[in-house]
Amino acid sequence: MITKNKLALMLSLAISIFFIAPFTKVKAAESIKIGIMLPYSGAFADLGDSIEKGFMLYSKQKGNKFAGKNLEFVKLDDESSPPKAVENANKLVKGDKVDILLGSVHSGVAMGMAKVAMDNGVLLMVPNAGAAAITGSMCAKNIYRSSFTNWQAGYVVGDIVMKAGHKKVVTITWKYAAGDESVGGFKDSFIAKGGMIMKELSLPFPNVEFQALLTEIASIKPDAVYTFFSGAGAVEFVKDYMASGLNKTIPLYGSGFITEGVLEAQGADAEGLVTALYYGDGLNTPRDNEFRAAYKKAYNQDPDVFAVQGYDAAMMLDIGLTATKGDVKDMEGFSKALRQAPIPSPRGNFTLSASHNPIQDFYMRKVIKGKNQVTGIAVKALADPAVGCKMQ
């Protein structure tokens, strides 16, 4: 028999389930959790810092909401360590239950993240790492990049070196995906134009013991040197190259990362270096001027390409999630929205390829008075070949 008391209890339980259950459900769906995996220590720490600052600037401009949902962040230092990448990404996906993965700088780390994103169907936004596989053999509906491929960044420099009259080149880089692919891109354009590679030199990431390799370059006597180093390695390499005196007879060229975000530390050693990248100082477009002013106001420093990639990663998430009304699993809708319209980046508008990599203009740059001054267009609308991408 149901007593009056029991009836009252059942009634109040029913009422609380009716009101609380839908409330908690709505509450959970009101936020989007983003797992940020970046290098906060090691050779690429400054790059991670810039990416985060760019990302947070855009998020703050949008009131910390995409598609009306609050953004929550969980941060993890990936130490630019590929062997720890899968475990770290799994920590964010399975432990913290993030809806989106953002990262990273190092190609080896980002490939580990891509594996975890594929295994778990989680949306991954890559704000730097240029590994070909991410938008090549591993390309997927849920994997996107706001930056570049290493191939793109190397390819544009081959032509510049050839046009400067250099026919025989030695390359020097770190022995991992980014270095190999950057040199690969350089060779694709340089050799096609009749250039010759005399020797490919390398050392393991993140080593900076360059002396023996510089001695070898001196004995080979190429017309010029092509290099990919970045962050702390770029600072040290340019310093050592100039100290060796090699620059007097063998000019140094590189993808833009050799001088990007490191000019203050390189000082006079970097003056005059010619590079190419899809961003630089002095673009002087209304879009970039507005971005640079906002960045300077927020952080009291000038942005670099890494800050732009972070900013654009946030913008791409915003565009995609607005189209899906915040549904982080609707990858059809997300992809359609991003592929439809040019993305209004501070670097200039770019479009997203079928493999989800930016198709973008590359600028010629020269270091003048401590700035990566844009001096012209190197290649317009350069797309990565996306070898091996079979988008499902």
Which residues in this chain contact ligand PHB in the complex, by CB under 6 A? 105-107, 128-131, 150, 178, 230, 257
Shorter beta-carbon distance to ligand PHB: residue 257 or 295: 257
- Considering the complex, what minimum distance in angstroms separates the CB of residue 180 from ligand PHB? 10
State in angstroms the smallest separation of the CB of 356 from ligand PHB. Answer: 16
CB of 43 to ligand PHB, least distance (A): 9
CB of 178 vs ligand PHB, minimal distance in Å: 3
Cβ distance to ligand PHB smaller for residue 281 or 318: 281
Shortest distance in whole angstroms from residue 120 CB to ligand PHB: 23
Cβ nearer to ligand PHB, comparing 106 with 187: 106
Beta bridge partners of 359: 351
Toward ligand PHB, which CB reaches closer, 38 or 105? 105
Q: Minimum CB separation from ligand PHB for residue 375, in Å?
A: 21
Q: Between residues 67 and 203, which has the closer beta carbon with respect to ligand PHB?
A: 203
Nearer to ligand PHB, 107 or 142 (CB): 107
Rounded least distance, CB 256 to ligand PHB, Å:
8
Residue 128 or 372 having the CB closest to ligand PHB? 128
